[in-house]
Every structure is written in C-alpha cells, then in structure tokens.
A = this chain, B = another copy of it.
Amino acid sequence: MEKLYMGAAFYPEVYGKDLPTLEEDIAVMKQGGFNVMRIAEFSWSCMEPHDGVFDFEWLHRIVDRLYANGISVIMCTPSVTPPDWLTKKYPEILMMNDDGNRKQHGARRHCCSNARIYRNYVRRINEKLAREFAEDPAIIGWQLDNEISPQGRGCSCPTCMALFHEHLARKYGTVENLNDRWYLKLWSQEYESFEDVPHPHEKTWSHPSLIAEYIGFQSDSHAEFLHEQAETLRKNGAKAPIGTDMMPIYAQSYPKTVGPLDLVQFNHYNTRANLRDVSFWFSYMQGLKPETPFWVTETCTGANGAAAANGGEYPLGFNRVNSLMPFAFGAAMNNYWLWRAHPGGHELMHGSVITSQGRPVYNFNECVDVAKILTAAERFLTETRPDYHGFAMSASCKVGVMSPAQPIVQQFDYRQELINSWHDLMGGGMLPQVQEPCMPLDDVKVLYSPYLLTLEEGDFMSRLADWIRAGGIWIAGPMTDIRNADGAKYMDSPFGLIEKLTGVYRAYGMTAHSIPAWVDWNGTKAETGIWTDVFVPGEGQEVLARYESLSEEEPSPFSGGAAAVWCPVGKGGVIVVGTRPSREALQELVRFAFCRAGIALSTRSSANVLALERSGAEQGVIAVEVEHKPGTMILSGQYRDVVSGEEYSGEVALKPYDFRIFRKIGG
C-alpha cells in the first residue's frame, strides 16, 4: 500500500439524479485535500428504479467527475436498502419479529439475509454494478452492504428457522447429542427433533446455549450473505479489494466475516468521553488481517446523530486526532460519514464535512490539517507497521456472543472489560496486539487473555498449550477457560485447560461483590473486582498475589488464599489470575511476563498517551494524546518529528490531542 486516503461518504444522487451539487462538492473536496469518496451504499432504488430496469448513468457521472478531479472511489453494494417494489412484491423477505409480524419498508437492514429471493435480487444488482464498474480505474475498493449484524435475537422467520435446524443437525449430528451437550434434561427441555428447537424470543427466558447458538447462526448467515456478494463481484470482474464496514460491537463475528474478504473496513463514532476506547478497536481491526492496512470507512467530524444530534463533546482538535489516530495503528484510510449533511430524513442531524447548504463545518480546517500531515508522513506510515514486540491480548467474538447470553456476573460486559484492560496497559510501554484466538501465535511471546470464557475455538486450546510448552507466557484470567464450546461447564475441573496444564488447583470461586476483599499484589493493595478465584499453588509455583480481609469486622474467608500464581510449564508458563487486577497490578504482571519472555518495554508515556512503536523500512514511534490534557512520553534515542522536521530525545511534552510521528535517527 503506497497511498493514504482521506475521504467521506457521498450521496449526491439524493438531491436528484441530475446531481445538482456535484461540481460544488468536488470543488470543496479538492480545497480540503480529500482523495476518496465512498458512494452508492443506499442507492438501490436509483440503480434499479423498477424490477429489472437499471440506470447507472448518474453513477458513472459521479465516478467520472470524481476521478477526473483526482478523487478515487469506493463502490458499495446497495443490499442494505432494498427498494419498495421489491419488499412489496415479496413481503416474505422481510425480517420477522418475535411476535410474528414482519419489519416495515422505510428503515434499513429490514430484509432477512437468508431469504433466497432477496439474495437473488441482490446478486442481480451486484452483477450489474460489477459489470459497470469492475474495470473503472476510479474504483479502489468495494464495500458490501452496511453494518450488518444480528439485531437483538435476530430474525425469526421460517426460512431462518429451517436453516437453523439444518445447521444444528450438521453440527450436532443427533438431537440426543444436542440434548446432552446443552444439558437439556434440566427442566425437561429435551427436544425430540431438531425441528422442535424454537427461536429464542426476547421475552422468553431462553437457554443461554440456544441464544448464543442462534446469534452465531445469524452472524454466519450474514457472513455467508456477504461472501456470496463478494463472489458475485469477483465473478463479474471486480479487481479492487472488497470489504464490509463493521461496527465496534460483537454480535457479528469479525473473523468469520472478514475471512474471505480482502480487507477490514471499520466504522466508529466516538466523543470526548470515549475517544481513547477506539484505540483498542484499531489494534483489534488491524489484528484481523495483520498484513493489510485496514480502512476507517466511517467516523465523524463532530456530532453523530439521527433526527437529533447526540450529546457528545467535541473540543477543538478532536476531529484532527480522531482522524489521524487510525493511521498510527496501521490504517490506510480515514473516511467521514458524511460529506454533505442530509437535507431531510432519519439522519438529517448527523455531523458532516459540509452542511446541507455546502458550507464547511467549523472544524473543516482540521480536515485540511489531516490531509497535510498524511502527505508529509505518507512514506513513513506506509513503509513501517505497528510493532508490538510479541505482546498480544486475546479478544474473541465467540466469547462476545456467549457472554451476553450468560454474563456470569450481573452487569458484566465483556466488551467494556476488554477496553478497560487495554486502558490499564496504556502508558506502560506494553500496548498489545489485540487478536482473535483463531490467529496464529507464531510471533507472540506473551499472551494476555482476560475473561476469555472459552478456549474452544478451532484448535486454539491445543495450539495454546503447545505454544506455552514451547516457551510462551500466558496471562490467563480472571474468568478464562471456564466454559466449553457449547457454553457449558467442564465437569472434572472448573477449567478446560488451566488445571490440567499447570497443576494449579482452584479451591473456591465467587463473584467479587459477594465476598469483597483486598488483594495484595506484591505490596500494592487493591479491591477485588468482578470475580474471585482462590488458587492452591502446585509444586514449584509462585504466588504473585494474595487475598486479605477488608477489616476485622469484615473478615474474608479467602484471606491468605492465592489470587495469582505463576506456573512454569515446559519452556514457558502460565500466570493464572483470579480477580480483576488493578492498573498497577496488571502492569506488574505483564512486566513479570516480559522479563521471562525477554521482551523489552516499549516507549513509556503518561497514561493518557498512546505510544505506538513502528518498524519496517525505518524505526519510529507515534504518540497520540487521547484525553484532551497535557501528556508526556520518553524517547529512548534520537528522533525526528516527521511533520515538523525537528529533532527530539528524552522526555517530550505533548499537547492536548497531540498526534506526533517520530522517526528514529539514532541510538
């Protein structure tokens, strides 16, 4: 990848197929340094105004005029918004609610991705679209659909149910096997046949294994739907890379979705309050296809919103840092949603680059600044990649689906706790590559896996054990390895692997709230969090933290018990963790692991600064301040600021929302 992109989502056809705003739009794009536009995502009715009647002239004109002005194009398939004539003719393709009613035309993503008729119509429009634009030099990428993901408990239509039953039959073989693995003797739930398995209605107190299985099935159906689209495009000549824009939610499996696609496209909307969260997701997205830069397909210059603007704060400089941050993590594109604010409809209060009247928004100058920095840093950014030095952190979509179905502890939110763990690592010189269990462990030296309920994803458990024996250091827990692939417990041990592999023994386990206690982490005391496992160390194992009573009046039954234990295994080992560590304790545990794995700490910084090392053709480090306050970082060696050209070494002061790129120029 030799080019970086700044762009936006562009819907000029909304104002009429004669595109009255097009030339004015292009003029402002050029003024701002925009070099890509994403188009056509919702425009099925413009492409195919009537069943079998196609019109791409307006779309060619958009593409041609953009290209003529040096602006590339991401072409979208319009499947998310089928025209009125289609759902009117075939109402059975609309998603079914739990009450048996179908969804209505007039919103979006209201068709069932399993509906064959719908898929056929999608294939036809995609064939046409591909044939029109496959060879167009303007097209640098394709986007499939938009933000597809199971909503709530997904569609409950007969087609989905029939396919779900087929899926269960394929997976479980016999219904008796399913009954056993889900422990359906409980409550006399045993099914006589796969056909008896119901949709897990929201209002029913449904079995957690059924809920997770159904969401997983819906996610698979969506993935299949997307992959079918990708195949259609490719069969019809599409050469540019194909992706689908995904959101920072978990119901839709990222690895399954992006598997056969060419690159990762990611949408995010953050505010001052949660800007730092998105850095977790950037690392995650990059980890899904480590060799290919990901694209931010949607973010905002300021207020997100629909028919009402949201309530977030967007201080001066927010737009700039929010737009640049993905490039630190390996992105090659940052796109705004949307170019020109909508003139009416559901999302007319969503932020944009220019207003509906074509006037640039108040922080348009920050977009201009972003474009300039990307130009200045293009070589450094495209010839280096983020370097995590072999430290990785597990994040699993499978657990992301299993966990809401069985949260283990009230209010436990897997997604948020992963982000909290990420935050706790910031500043310590130990930012990890976030990665799914299905990804290889070859280059990983230390793996941190908090709340990873199950290890049963493909061959992960055995690969993990092998990797540990061969020298890997695994920081496991709390709440890791406590469920099998079906979401049930192991019967011989609270864990699937940990006790067997290490010989450690879990004496007791309880929510942290039920029996609050202190944990002494090598001298630093912190309250227990979320969960408490009490371990009995085996021979040769080292206790890293112990529980203590809160006070004499509040004695803990766990007092003196081990909260974290270092268990050497082969050439590597496992640090089992029984409760949520504090920030200090987590960094201590990671340093302990780094020491054994021979990893040196990366660039240190204050906790509000992401310091991300880069390597490749050159060496360097990128620093991002994410909390709108002053920060610092400590450079070890001599560096040059890629944008300003100034030299730096030692402690560097960062301004609120600073984004700095330092190229290493000396030891």
Interface of A toward B, CB cutoff 8 Å: 11, 13-17, 42-46, 49, 78, 81-85, 88, 97, 99-101, 103-108, 180, 182-192, 196, 198-201, 203-210, 302-303, 305-316, 341-346, 348-349, 355-357, 359, 361-363, 405-412, 486-494, 507-511, 513-516, 534, 553-558, 656
Contacts and interface: CB of A to CB of B under 8 A. Distances in A.
28 contacts: A14-B183, A42-B188, A46-B185, A81-B187, A83-B188, A84-B189, A84-B192, A103-B204, A104-B198, A105-B198, A106-B198, A108-B205, A183-B342, A207-B346, A208-B346, A302-B510, A307-B405, A308-B406, A308-B407, A309-B408, A310-B410, A311-B410, A315-B554, A316-B555, A343-B488, A344-B489, A348-B488, A553-B656
A45 B186 CA distance: 9
B355 A494 contact: yes
A182 B313 contact: no
Copies in the complex: 3
Contact of A313 (B100, B198, B343, B513): B513
A424 to B, nearest CB: 23
Contacts of A209: 344-345
Given A308-B409, A313-B516, A357 B494 contact: yes
Contact of A11 (B186, B192, B309, B411): B186
Given A192-B84, A312-B514, A348 B104 contact: no
A185 B43 contact: yes
Contacts of A356: 489, 491, 494
Given A106-B204, A183-B14, A362-B515, A84 B190 contact: yes
A81 B188 contact: yes
Nearest to A345: B186
Contacts of A408: 307-309, 349
Given A307-B208, A308-B410, A101 B100 contact: yes
B411 A311 contact: yes
Nearest to A11: B186
Given A409-B309, A508-B361, A81 B487 contact: no
Nearest to A206: B106
A514 B45 contact: no
A80 to B, nearest CB: 8
Nearest to A355: B494
- Give the dominant DSSP class at A's interface: loop
A15 B190 CA distance: 13
Nearest to A46: B185
Nearest to A41: B187
Contacts of A107: 187, 204-206
Contacts of A513: 311-313
Nearest to A105: B198
A220 to B, nearest CB: 21
Contacts of A510: 302-303, 361-362
**In the complex, which of the residues A187, A306, A513, A558 has the most CB atoms of chain B within 10 Å of its own CB atom?**
A187
B104 A407 contact: no
A630 to B, nearest CB: 9
A283 B355 CA distance: 38
A534 to B, nearest CB: 8
A307 B191 CA distance: 21
Given A84-B189, A186-B345, A357-B491, 4 more contacts: A106-B206, A302-B510, A349-B406, A362-B557
A409 B534 CA distance: 49
A198 B103 CA distance: 11
Given A307-B405, A344-B487, A508-B362, A82 B42 contact: no
Contacts of A191: 84
A374 to B, nearest CB: 22
A183 B14 CA distance: 6
A188 B106 contact: no
Contacts of A557: 316, 362-363
Which of A82, A185, A316, A507 has the most chain B CB atoms closer than 10 A to its own CB? A185
